[in-house]
Structure 1
Amino acid sequence: MRGHDEETGEFFSPSRSAQRRAALDVLELGEVLVALTATQLGKLPIPDELLPHIRDTQRMSSHGARKRQLAFLAKQMRKLDDAQLDAIRDAMSKDGEAARRDTAMLHRAEVLREALLGDDGDAAMTDLLAQHPQADRQKLRQLVRNTFDERKHNKPPRAFRELFRELRDVLAGGEASADADDGDEDSHD
């Protein structure tokens, strides 16, 4: 029985129907996680204690056994904080914040690549290296030269693509270190 406050009339806890809906939402999330590949799972912020349960469920071939294992997985997932479950849902969502950040980073890498290959490529390289001192200056300059050479000789855009990947990695490394710096500042307060 839920019980309610005598003075305000508010209930102390969610109704059984609300609890059941929340449990079914977690079960659906578990079904989606089990359907993902190992690579896709690696990109999600899944706690380490859940991964063995997900793998066990993926290995089950018998319908009844798989259903029981999925129920057990959902039970383990309900032990997580709501924030952790929301982070997993957000990472899986195409409209989520994580997807928007990734898309924005890809666009920045593309704009940066075009700036490096443009008329004022030296200034763009200087700005990039000033903002991201961890970047490999020699590798970036070599990739830019190779891209120009590919264009000159009408070769396939191998270095052009590799330059994009390198810029994406540099930008991702810069964001990760910026996030770590923000976390360090919070810990000093």
Structure 2
Amino acid sequence: MPNTPANTPPDAAEPDDHGYDRPSKSQVKRDMLALQDLGKQLVELSTDRLKQLPLSEKLYDAVRQAQRTTSREGLRRQIHYVGKLMRDADADAIRTQLDIWENGSREQTRAMHRLEALRDLLLKDDEALTGLLDAYPGADIQHLRTLIRASRKEAQSNAALHAGQDPQRKHYRALFQAIKALNDSTEKE
């Protein structure tokens, strides 16, 4: 029995009892199919997104050609070719970026929820503005007060609407954008 650590996978590139020091055929095939699946995901992306990925010119052209291919068999062959070109690409960087695009950044979502909660707090509680000004000392207090006042007035008029009438959200959204701009300016510093 070879002296290998217990946490080493059985298909690792270490010699086994028979003297093989390469990955198994099955592992190579799994890796190639994973790259081909990644290539399929690239074919489904928009041109703008493709340009943001670290792709070689040859790979980018092959993906664009697959996007233009209408024949089922031609598309299958082109995707196979894209998978072959993926061997030389930085697959981990591509997967990471695709994951961010697909799932969205959880941190960004949480940040947006925090800003929405802060906006709602500002509309309910006058003391919340003091806390906001402590957190963002460079904030334009007069502009924020005007937006809060207009948003509250807007909410009152929306409460008096009849069923089927669309509520106004102009100042409500403007207040959110002002808070977001404050948050973005402090993150850049």
Q: What's the TM-score, normalizing by structure 1?
A: 0.64
How many Å apart are 1:118 and its aligned residue? 3.1
How many Å apart are 1:18 and its aligned residue? 0.9
Paired letter, 2:122? L
Which protein shows a greater Rg? 2
Q: Which residue among 126, 129, 134 is the counterpart of 1:122?
A: 129
Q: Which residue among 80, 84, 88 is the counterpart of 2:89?
A: 80
How many Å apart are 1:84 and its aligned residue? 0.8
In structure 2, distance between residues paired with 1:108 and 1:166: 14
The residue aligned with 1:164 is 176
Distance 1:118 1:28, change over 3 A: same
Q: What's the TM-score, normalizing by structure 2?
A: 0.64
- The alignment status of 1:144 with 2:143, answered yes or no, reads no
* Residues 43-86 of structure 1: per-residue CA shift (max 9 Å, x gap): x9622545554333222112232223222322333323343144
* Residues 137-176 of structure 1: per-residue CA shift (max 9 Å, x gap): 776555434322311332512322343355446545655x
Paired letter, 1:118? K
Distance 1:11 1:115, change over 3 A: farther
Paired letter, 2:155? R
- The alignment status of 1:107 with 2:116, answered yes or no, reads no
Q: Which residue among 68, 72, 91 is the counterpart of 2:77?
A: 68
In structure 1, distance between residues paired with 2:32 and 2:41: 14
Give the CA RMSD over aligned residues.
Answer: 3.7
The residue aligned with 1:47 is 54
Identical-residue share of aligned pairs (%) = 28
In structure 2, distance between residues paired with 1:93 and 1:19: 27
Instruction: Identify unmatched segments of 5+ residues in structure 2.
Output: 1-11, 159-166
In structure 1, distance between residues paired with 2:42 and 2:66: 10
SS for the counterpart of 1:153 is helix
In structure 1, distance between residues paired with 2:53 and 2:78: 18
Paired letter, 2:150? N
Paired letter, 2:54? P
In structure 1, distance between residues paired with 2:100 and 2:140: 30
* Residues 61-114 of structure 1: per-residue CA shift (max 9 Å, x gap): 1223222322232233332334314413532553xxx53223212222222222
Q: Which residue among 5, 11, 18 is the counterpart of 2:27?
A: 18
Instruction: Identify unmatched segments of 5+ residues in structure 1.
Output: 179-189
Paired letter, 2:157? H
SS for the counterpart of 1:12 is coil
